[in-house]
Structure 1
Amino acid sequence: MKLSVGPILYLWERSTVLSFYESLCDAPVDIVYLGEVVCSKRRFMRKEDWLAVTEMLRSAGKEVVISTLALIEAESELASLARIAQNTDVLVEANDYACIECLDGRPFVAGPHLNVYNEATLRLIARHGARRWVAPVELPLAIVAALAELRPPKLEVEMFSYGRLPLAFSARCFTARAQRRAKDDCQFVCAAHPDGSTVYSRDGQPFLALNGIQTQSAATQNLLPHVRKLRNAGVDVLRLSPQSRDFAAVVNAFRAALDGNDDVTLPASFLPGGYCDGYLDGAAGLEIVENEQRMPHPAPVRPAAPAASLSRAR
């Protein structure tokens, strides 16, 4: 099995992004995804920066993939998508079917935001050039295993194995709205939340996370205890989604598990939602399943001052 590092889903400062990818040169990962998936307004990184990072990672022996937007809202975004698809020698991750059209038969990665839930669709994207399929995060492992068994030849299967789950996208920027700002005048308030802004229920339960136009789980999906099951199900690549702290420890723990260490564990998550893995077993995503036994969700952590609330986010 291989380890991949997914695209950074948050707005980090340019220097932070460059340092992060420099650290991955010596990290035990095989594939690194670059680019912007969430919001086209996030331009702290220039084209020249992405080209330099690509060459740096390639020189370190990493496979580089360019990820594209999951929600296309404007002609300018479609034009940018076409430029990426047509003018790069790097494999592209398509997160919208418009990208597949722009690629015009060239090899690509089918990202987790494409609706691929059955064999017919899997074969369709393979005919259009898909080399790797990243399963939607809500798909149970039993279905992923069935599709992996029926997949077209040479098509790899990748699963989102660590990170806050990307659940939905909207034309409205919830992070700006929570700060009473219009989307067109957001002033990049999402940069103040390097792991998203947690939304709490009225009783203090971490519920969701706001990340610009993207809604995420408050809990962090952690499939480390299930590496053996993932391998047996035919999964080829485990995706780790970047976070602002402890990411090196996450990478090393998953690499140790892939190398056969069944006793490796991760420290408690620094994010208020804790860990989850319910989708893997076909349960509610926020639940925890360990060693085939359903475990209760950890007790809610009541914040002193919530970063956002449901009433403010409306």
Structure 2
Amino acid sequence: MHGIESMKLSLGPLQYFWPRERTLAFYREAMDWPLDIVYLGETVCSKRRELRFKDWLALANEMADAGKEVVLSTLALIEAESELGTLSRQVENGRFLVEANDMSAVQLCREKRLPFVGGPTLNVYNHRALAMLVEDGLRRWVPGVEQGRELLEGMRTALEADGGAMPELEVMAWGRLPLAYSARCFTARALDIPKDECGFRCIEYPDGLPLKTREDEPFLTINGIQVQGTEVIDMAPQRDELAACGVGILRLYPQTEGMAGVVDHFRRMLESPVPPPPLGARNGYWYGRPGKASLSMPEFGGR
């Protein structure tokens, strides 16, 4: 079990496609934020090449020299031999832990006998699968957003009954819920252009492309091959429940505006005797309910 005083804050991998200079400026600003862990790398689409692997690695070295724990995140969907080549370079980087978001990454880490973080797209739904990954080298697990409190508590009980233990747990605590991935590009589809001729149009939507229903109600956010929820979740009010469930790390996903305020909100939450009111929409997934909620989006001035 983790206590609130030992909880850490992580900056999850950038899910959106931002211009190179904007991305670098964001992370160099993040070096001064009260974060413990920073995840770096492209997880959504391999065609997003404003930063290549050598750029992410150089940024990782800067972050580590600034005192952050750095993890290199891999693609959630591997489709080409070239992507396997990049994945191999990530795994063999020689310094940083890797977040494996695909079983190809798990296999490479296992072959190299390297520990890894199990990312939220590994689709782990029972304690036996998790125990097998632990044998392969998993040291930290980030459950998917459909895996709430009840499932995690059940898995912990089952692991302990088999003589095992839950690995370090990291839970998404801020951002839009990543709901699905596809070989098709939803952004290209929405703009009626072929995926292979997309022109990298998702760079025009730095927080994703919002969708509405025919009744003009906010519905989903599309981000290349990824579909997200429309609301920003905020798990800060569930702080005590997260700690009781053994969660040791709270993941905050990057957004274009106000991220420094988000990090400060969570840092103050960890230092407060009582959890704060939410800044984002209420998050139902933790309780096995729909994530959609009625609270308004956060408003911050600047990053």
1:180-217 CA-partner distances (Å, limit 9, x unpaired): 11111111100010010011001111111110000110
| 79, 87, 96: which one aligns with 1:81 | 87
8 Å Cα contact 1:145/1:235 also seen in 2: no
Structure-2 separation of matches of 1:172 and 1:205: 25
1:220-239 CA-partner distances (Å, limit 9, x unpaired): 12111111110111101000
Structure-2 separation of matches of 1:153 and 1:252: 32
Structure-2 separation of matches of 1:83 and 1:299: 42
Structure-2 separation of matches of 1:74 and 1:252: 40
Aligned residues: 285
TM-score (norm 1): 0.86
Name the residue aligned to 2:4: none
1:43-69 CA-partner distances (Å, limit 9, x unpaired): 101333222211211111110000000
Name the residue aligned to 1:118: 126
Name the residue aligned to 1:63: 69
* Corresponding position: 1:158 with 2:170: yes
Deviation at 1:298, TM superposition (A): 4.9
Structure-1 separation of matches of 2:191 and 2:94: 37
The 3 A distance-change label for structure 1 pair 55 and 79 is: closer
Structure-2 separation of matches of 1:32 and 1:299: 27
Deviation at 1:89, TM superposition (A): 2.1
- Runs of 4+ residues over 6 Å off in structure 1: none
Q: Which amino acid aligns with 2:155?
A: L
Q: Which amino acid aligns with 1:89?
A: R
Query: What SS does the aligned partner of 1:190 have?
Result: helix
Deviation at 1:154, TM superposition (A): 7.7
Query: What SS does the aligned partner of 2:211 have?
Result: strand
Name the residue aligned to 1:97: 103
After TM superposition, list the pairs within 5 Å mapping 1:2-13 onto structure 2.
2-13=8-19
Structure-2 separation of matches of 1:276 and 1:174: 26
Any gaps of 5 or more consecutive residues in structure 2? 1-6, 298-303
Name the residue aligned to 1:72: 78
* Corresponding position: 1:169 with 2:181: yes
TM-score (norm 2): 0.89
Tell me which of the two structures has the higher relative contact order, counting C-alpha pairs closer than 8 angstroms and 6 or more residues apart.
Answer: 2
Q: Which amino acid aligns with 1:4?
A: S
1:141-168 CA-partner distances (Å, limit 9, x unpaired): 1222333453745820010111011111
Q: Which amino acid aligns with 2:106?
A: I
8 Å Cα contact 1:148/1:234 also seen in 2: no
Name the residue aligned to 1:306: none
Deviation at 1:3, TM superposition (A): 0.5
8 Å Cα contact 2:173/2:235 also seen in 1: yes
8 Å Cα contact 1:38/1:69 also seen in 2: yes
After TM superposition, list the pairs within 5 Å mapping 1:241-260 onto structure 2.
241-260=253-272
Name the residue aligned to 2:220: 208
Structure-2 separation of matches of 1:155 and 1:29: 21
The 3 A distance-change label for structure 1 pair 37 and 280 is: same
8 Å Cα contact 1:250/1:266 also seen in 2: no
After TM superposition, list the pairs within 5 Å mapping 1:8-19 onto structure 2.
8-19=14-25
Any gaps of 5 or more consecutive residues in structure 1? 270-274, 288-296, 301-314
